[in-house]
Amino acid sequence: MATKQTHAFQTEVSQLLHLMIHSLYSNKEIFLRELVSNASDAVDKLKFESLSNDALVEGKEELQIHVQVNKDAGTITISDNGIGMTQDEVMENIGTIANSGTKKFLQSLDEKQAEDSNLIGQFGVGFYSAFIVADEVTLTTRKAGDDKTDGTVWSSAGKGEYSLETTTVEDFGTSVTLHIKDDEKEFLDDYRLRNIISKYSDHITVPILMVKASEEASDEIEYETVNKANAFWTQDKK
């Protein structure tokens, strides 16, 4: 049986989380831009690695990003079937930030560049932007090619620590679920998210899918691609 472990964030990460939670960003919608960008990078990495090892994609033909809203639960989930992460990679990439990106980002804030929302992506700390609108974030991941029992669940309320748990994850890739703050419920609106994707992520060549808007009640969930770039790049050249 898997045991849940609790770890403390590095000092720099705790500082960064504090800034996100008590957000100095007036442009809060950048959280979706950053998480979609991370998902796209993960898909691109899998595409590259699968060129030399097609077993990594486990028979999956379509590599995609899904953005899903659950109004009842108050959550937004951004998921991809990209490369995924091992537990060690989760700890390195999210819990500790072994690279100097976080420190450089904090230094740039000290230099009065705080309002430049592009800094988040430049310094590779975009994941933490989830805490601009969420009071709890859960990440579930499995590295492509790894056994299904080697999945990882990472969870944090952004208050100095995070938990890690080994679990079975059926599909490779990464899923990030944001538990939206009470005063940020405006983001639990499909059309609001579609507009943000259109604004920031139309250039992403990976299909970004959302539940298809339907007038009729149905038990079947249909998805539609909401970013234009994919449709453009896949058109036949004449």
Asked, for residue 226, whether it belongs to a domain, the answer is no
Domain range for 191 is: 10-212
Which is more confident, 220 or 90?
A: 90
Complete edge-to-edge strand list for the sheet that includes strand 223-225: 4-8, 161-167, 151-156, 134-142, 173-180, 75-80, 65-70, 208-211, 223-225
- pLDDT tens per residue, range 125-158: 788 889 999 999 999 999 999 999 999 999 999 8
Which is more confident, 114 or 10?
A: 10
pLDDT band at 232 (very low <50, low <70, confident <90, very high): very low
pLDDT at 97: 52
Asked, for residue 4, whether it belongs to a domain, the answer is no
Asked, for residue 48, whether it belongs to a domain, the answer is yes
Q: For all residues of the chain together, what is the average pLDDT?
A: 85
Asked, for residue 231, whether it belongs to a domain, the answer is no
pLDDT at 111: 56
Spell out the long-range contacts of 15-18 with Cβ–Cβ below 8 A and sequence spacing 24 or more: 15/106, 16/102, 16/105, 16/106, 16/125, 16/128, 17/128, 17/131, 17/158, 17/159, 17/160
Asked, for residue 91, whether it belongs to a domain, the answer is yes
**Most confident by average pLDDT, 12-21, 45-54, 64-73:** 64-73
Asked, for residue 57, whether it belongs to a domain, the answer is yes
- Output the pTM of the full model: 0.87
**Residue 187's CATH number:** 3.30.565.10
Question: Minimal CA–CA distance to 229: which of 40, 100, 42?
Answer: 40
pLDDT at 113: 54
Asked, for residue 237, whether it belongs to a domain, the answer is no
Asked, for residue 130, whether it belongs to a domain, the answer is yes
Domain count, the chain: 1
